[in-house]
Amino acid sequence: MMAKAISRIIEAVVVALLILAAFSISSYLILPPNTPHQRASQDLTKFGYNLLSSLAANEGFDQLIYDSSGRLKEGWEQQLKVVINSLIPHNIIFNITVYNATLNELGFVDLKELNSVAISNAEDEFGRANEAVFLKAGENAQISYVYTTRWMKVIVINMKLALLGSA
């Protein structure tokens, strides 16, 4: 009789502890939908598109990437980096990859990377884009922008943006 009673109490205590543990864990895990983080990256995406389309509107990419005969300019990556770097706020880092889009024999789009060096303001000691900085930044946004040059070449600009101090 006594043993049964004690086991009932132990059961009740264990159940209570389980319920309390569930509450404790859930309080750490539950986040409301659309957290500020998601909002920040939404704005980062809009900002990125707005910046790229502003440059594209007046043939800015033609002037930056190609010379007057339609060939790639020497050192265009550096120039593009300087221009983008001068137009974004100090707390935003970027990494840009530019692809040349062509159609292959099967009718699929082939993307060939045009930049031979990193176009980024977050480089490691080897001159490559430092992915660790983007991971640590917290808020990331990826933008793909398709642009047709005045020589009818199609380029795809992939821009990765991260907001520093948002993690």
Partner 1 sequence: MSPTYEYIVAILITVMMVGYTYYSLTSMTSSQLQLVEEEQLDAVAERLFDKILLTQGSPEDWGSNLYVNNTSLKDLGLSLKHGGMYELDVDKVMRLYPGSTEILNPLYINSTTFGTLAGLYDRDRGYWKYGFRLSIKTALNMTIERADSKSPTEKFRVNVKNYMDKPASNAEVKGTYIAIYIVKQGNQEYFDYSYTTIKNMTDWSGQTILDFKNNIPSVPQGSQNAYCLVVTANYYGLQSQNSIIDNEIKTLGLTIQGKYLIANFTQVEDIARGAHHLELTALELTSSLNIILNPAIDVTNGKAGKIVNYGGKNYRVYELQNPPSQDVIFVGLLVKKLGKWGLVFASRPRTPVAVDYMSVGIPSAGIKTVTMSRIVKIGENSYYTELTLWRTSE
| Residue count, binding to partner 1 (CB under 8 A) | 47
Q: Which range, of 23-31, 98-106, 107-115, 147-155, touches partner 1 by CB under 8 A? A: 23-31
Q: How far apart are CA 65 and CA 60, in angstroms?
A: 9
- Which of positions 32-51 make contact with partner 1 (CB under 8 A)? 32, 34-36, 39-40, 42-43, 46-47, 50-51
SS3 sequence, 47-91? HHHHHHHHHHHCCHHHHHHECCCCCECCCHHHHHHHHHHHHCCCC
Using CA atoms, how far apart are residues 146 and 126, in angstroms rounded to an integer?
29
Tell me if 165 contacts partner 1 by CB under 8 A: no
| 155 CB neighbour count, 10 Å cutoff | 19
Rounded distance, CA 153 to CA 86, Å? 26
Is residue 106 at the binding interface for partner 1, with CB under 8 A as the rule? no
- Residue 59 interacts with partner 1 (CB under 8 A): yes or no: yes
Q: Which one of residues 24, 91, 144, 148 is an interface residue with partner 1 (CB under 8 A)?
A: 24
Site for partner 1, rule CB under 8 A: 1-2, 5-6, 8-9, 12-13, 16, 19-20, 23-24, 26-27, 30-32, 34-36, 39-40, 42-43, 46-47, 50-51, 53-61, 63-64, 79, 82-83, 86-89
